[in-house]
Amino acid sequence: MDVRAILMVGRTQPGPEENIAGIPIAYLDVLGLPLVERVWQRLRHFGVCGATLISAAAPEAESFARRTRLRADMPWIQAPPGEFWQTAENTFSKYAEEGAELVIAVRVGPYAEVDYEELIQHHLDHHCPVTMAVDPAGASLDIFVLNASRRNDAASLFRSELRKLRTECKGFRVAGYVNRLKTAADLRRLALDGLLRRNSIAPVGTETRPGVWIAESARIHRKARVLAPAFIGEYARIRASALITRSAVVEHHAEIDCGTVVEDSTVLPYTYVGAGLDVMHSVVGFRRLSHLARNVDVEISDRKLVGMSAVSVVSRLAGSTAALLAFLPKQIYRGFPAPHGEHTADVPESLEQQAAALKTPATEAQGPVPEASEFPSNLAVVRRYGEQ
């Protein structure tokens, strides 16, 4: 059977939910892979032979979204403003003309582990033009199976922004894992549930010891500690004396500076966390810190505390080249090549020092720090050490 999929990244209603700092949660990594890619992988596992991604990401988010690691064989359409649902309807019509029999429409907002084989069988058994997947409480999960021959039903669904079925049919109740993914706390819970194997999201990396997952290209200083359970993503850098512990997640291209503790938190891609900090029960990224236990969201303007690495490959390459030029003379002096250690390579001795951003005094050419960069008094914590 020819089954295609339409993946939609966009909200049915405007609002702050389902994004972090304007970036749709669907484009953020969860244990090493973007959420939308994980949805596509699940569809492929159940025999869906093709998919199109339709995005309504804002212009400021598109540059980040374009660098998510999606499969090259999945077309990406950036819908013009105001034409998101019309673009989805046009894609459905295109699939019908190409001979598809069924089309699965998924708005990648909520995350649900659907048995698509059972969903399709339910759809066929009940002879429905459109079948809606619902959670145990009966609420829609924005997942639908449509007969490709029923264009009027598809038009009614998309033009109502997935709120209305032209022909009412019995919904398919999803028995698997469901996460609505509306806030940073939901994103953190999704990653935590993956680490603890409460869902099917597996970390992308090597389990170097029980409960510790490290991507092959991650760089961890020999004086840093990573305690299980934890995940370190691709090209992440953990500097000397840093501690990653208690289900901490450090996604790709993130950097944790010297002496910083990351506990029960998620550090989002391309995020720099400064030296000597305690990050606990939080989601950090895009120059923001969301403290989950206290429900506090803080914008941080001081890049020595929380900053962003360059998203552009060219900019990152320039920075990496400069670091390499500083590193090579020391390695030549010690004897090149350096001896090999365990699976995770030791970073250069220069990473025992603070990042370059910390060499400039905080008061130099900056003026007063805006209120947004100051932590509220209720974020004060006590640093705890030991093998916890």
Confidence (pLDDT) at 364: 41
Check whether residue 161 and residue 220 sit in a common domain.
no
Q: Which domain holds residue 215?
A: 203-309+367-379
Rounded CA-CA distance 191/25 in Å is: 12
Q: Quick check: helix, strand or coil at residue 129? A: coil
CATH number reported for the structural domain that contains residue 241 in this entry: 2.160.10
Please indicate, yes or no, if residue 386 is contained in any of the structural domains.
no
CB-based contacts of 261-267 (< 8 A; 24+ apart in sequence): 261/383, 263/384, 265/188, 266/187, 266/188, 266/191
Lowest-pLDDT range of 54-68, 95-109, 142-156: 54-68
Q: Give helix 151-159 / helix 84-97 axis angle, nearest 10°.
A: 160
What mean pLDDT value characterizes the chain? 85
The b-or-e profile of 281-302 (16+ CB within 10 A means b, else e) is: bbbbbbbbbbbbeeeebbebeb
- Phi first, then psi, for residue 117 (nearest 5°) are -65, -45
Q: Quick check: helix, strand or coil at residue 359? A: coil
Rounded CA-CA distance 40/24 in Å is: 16
Please indicate, yes or no, if residue 108 is contained in any of the structural domains.
yes
Of the residues 145, 179, 213, the one at which a domain ends:
179
Pairwise pLDDT comparison (200 vs 338), residue with the higher score: 200
> Average pLDDT of 152-156?
96
Please indicate, yes or no, if residue 375 is contained in any of the structural domains.
yes
> Average pLDDT of 242-259?
97
Please indicate, yes or no, if residue 190 is contained in any of the structural domains.
no
Check whether residue 135 and residue 70 sit in a common domain.
yes
pLDDT at 348 over 50: no
Please indicate, yes or no, if residue 167 is contained in any of the structural domains.
yes
Check whether residue 75 and residue 212 sit in a common domain.
no
pLDDT at 363 over 50: no
pLDDT tier, 349 (very low <50, low <70, confident <90, very high otherwise): very low
> Average pLDDT of 287-302?
95
CATH number reported for the structural domain that contains residue 104 in this entry: 3.90.550.10
Check whether residue 32 and residue 154 sit in a common domain.
yes
Residue 90, CA distances (Å) to 6, 158, 162 in order: 11, 10, 15
Check whether residue 172 and residue 214 sit in a common domain.
no
Percent above pLDDT 70 for the chain: 77
pLDDT at 333 over 90: no
Check whether residue 170 and residue 22 sit in a common domain.
yes
Check whether residue 168 and residue 229 sit in a common domain.
no
pLDDT at 332 over 60: no
The answer, yes or no, to whether the previous bond of 229 is cis (omega within 30 of 0) is yes
- Phi first, then psi, for residue 304 (nearest 5°) are -80, -15
Q: Tell me which residue of 5, 35, 361, 16 sits closest to 200, measured CA to CA.
A: 35
Check whether residue 123 and residue 11 sit in a common domain.
yes
Check whether residue 174 and residue 238 sit in a common domain.
no
Please indicate, yes or no, if residue 88 is contained in any of the structural domains.
yes
Check whether residue 14 and residue 144 sit in a common domain.
yes
Q: Count CB-CB contacts under 10 A for residue 219.
A: 19
Q: For the sheet with 206-209, list strands across it.
A: 206-209, 212-214, 230-232, 248-250, 266-267, 282-285, 288-291, 296-299
Please indicate, yes or no, if residue 166 is contained in any of the structural domains.
yes
pLDDT tier, 61 (very low <50, low <70, confident <90, very high otherwise): confident
Task: Transcribe 68-82 into DSSP letters.
Answer: S---TTS-EEEPPTT
Global pTM value:
0.82
Check whether residue 13 and residue 73 sit in a common domain.
yes
Report how many domains make up the chain.
Answer: 2
pLDDT tier, 214 (very low <50, low <70, confident <90, very high otherwise): very high
Please indicate, yes or no, if residue 284 is contained in any of the structural domains.
yes
- Phi first, then psi, for residue 154 (nearest 5°) are -65, -40
Check whether residue 207 and residue 134 sit in a common domain.
no
